[in-house]
Amino acid sequence: MSVETSPQSISPSPRITVLLADDHASIRAGLRLLLETAEGIEVVGEAADGAAAIRQVRALAPDVVLMDARMPGTDGITATRQIVAESSCEVLMLTTFDLDEVVFGALRAGAAGFLLKSVEPARLIEAIRQVAAGDGVIAPEVTRKLLDAFVASAGSTDDDAPDDSPRPSGTAARPSAPPASGGSSGTAQLRSRIEEHLTPREQDVLAALGRGLSNAQIAEEMVISLATVKSHVSSVLSKLHLSSRMQAAICAREAGLVSSRKR
């Protein structure tokens, strides 16, 4: 027996849940007021420091955290590192200054995006939607220094960003990025490592990340579900000891996957 479905019974698009983390109550209030006007976005909680943000993520499981980079006690970068390590929540970092150590630290910690607090309201709302959909978002003002910093530092060790924050029992820290390639020999070594640790499908996903595709675009191109894409991306990051999509993209390019793989 067939069952007719009326238009009213069709499930609406899922809402994007957001946690606000900033030590200034006035800034949190302003962000909440702004986001309450955005269709499909719901603010589910607030945190005045990084430790509180970690607790709130565990309790509320938001889709996105708007994280202030500098807060007393546990700062935003430390909190981001732990949140990314133990949850699927995306972190969009906000800060007043585009200092090198903040930009680099945020992305090393696994933030999906980095914006200045001077960002236009419409752009911030768009960025939240992009991050929730699996895209990376970088403020135009810091794009060049970010790329320069990552290319120059991709071969650094955990000394740059120690991952020694406390974690619940059974939660493993995500290791640092693999060494950058050094000429043709380094490229071959990195390519060999990728082929050793990743399945062919995961290599395709890594190459897609190198081309800057979002989860939705990868799903469409490979004809797989979004859930499957997210699972593959998580596996790629874990197996290659990466902490963000940005690192994965750089890794793919250094290994020659972007130029050598067909669409």
Query: What pLDDT is recorded for position 156?
Result: 45
Q: Dump pLDDT digits (tens) for 9-22.
A: 444 557 999 999 99
Q: Are 98 and 149 in contact (CB under 8 A)?
A: no
Considering the domain architecture, whether residues 141 and 207 belong to the same structural domain is answered as no
Which residue among 98, 126, 149 closes a domain? 149
| Same-domain check for residues 141 and 22 | yes
Beta bridge partners of 68: 94
Q: What is the pTM of this model?
A: 0.62
Q: How far apart are CA 203 and CA 262, in angstroms?
A: 12
Q: Between 157 and 187, name the one with better pLDDT.
A: 187
38 and 83, same domain (yes or no): yes
Residues 18 and 145 placed together within one structural domain of the fold: yes
Residue 148: what pLDDT? 60
Find the CATH number of the domain harbouring 84.
Answer: 3.40.50.2300
> Has residue 42 been placed in a domain?
yes
Residues of the domain holding 118: 14-149
For residue 2, being part of any structural domain is answered with: no
Does residue 170 surpass a pLDDT of 60? no
- Is residue 244 domain-resident? yes
Contact 235, 248 (CB under 8 A): no
pLDDT band, very low/low/confident/very high, at 87 (cuts 50, 70, 90): confident
| Residue 162 domain-assigned (yes or no) | no
Confidence of residue 125 (pLDDT cuts 50, 70, 90): very high
When pLDDT is cut at 50, 70 and 90, the band that residue 143 belongs to is low
Residue with the larger pLDDT of the pair 260 and 256 = 256
Crossing angle (nearest 10°) for helices 245-254 and 200-210: 100
**Of the given ranges (25-29, 78-82, 164-168), which has the lowest mean pLDDT?**
164-168
Domains in the chain: how many in total? 2
Cα distances from 263 to residues 87, 133, 187, 191, 231, in angstroms, run 31, 21, 21, 18, 21
Residues 215-246 have pLDDT tens digits of 888 989 999 998 888 888 888 988 888 767 77
**CA dist., res. 219 & res. 225, Å (int):** 6
Centre a 10 Å sphere on the Cβ of residue 20 and count the other Cβ atoms it contains: 26
- Burial per residue of 49-77, b for 16 or more beta-carbon CB atoms within 10 angstroms, e otherwise: bbbbbbebbeeeebbbbbbbbebeebbbb
Report the pLDDT averaged over residues 118-137: 89
Burial of 44 (0-12, 13-18, 19+ CB in 10 A): middle
Residue 186 has pLDDT above 60, yes or no: yes
Q: What percent of the chain has pLDDT over 90?
A: 37
**Which pLDDT score is estimated for 258?**
78
In percent, the amount of the chain with pLDDT more than 70 equals: 74
pLDDT at 32: 95
Among the ranges given (146-150, 168-172, 203-207, 223-227), the one the predictor scored with the smallest mean pLDDT:
168-172
- Average pLDDT over every residue of 178-189: 59
Same structural domain, 140 and 243: no
Same domain, 61 and 123: yes
Residues 102 and 196 in one domain: no
Q: In terms of pLDDT, which residue wins out, 57 or 114?
A: 57
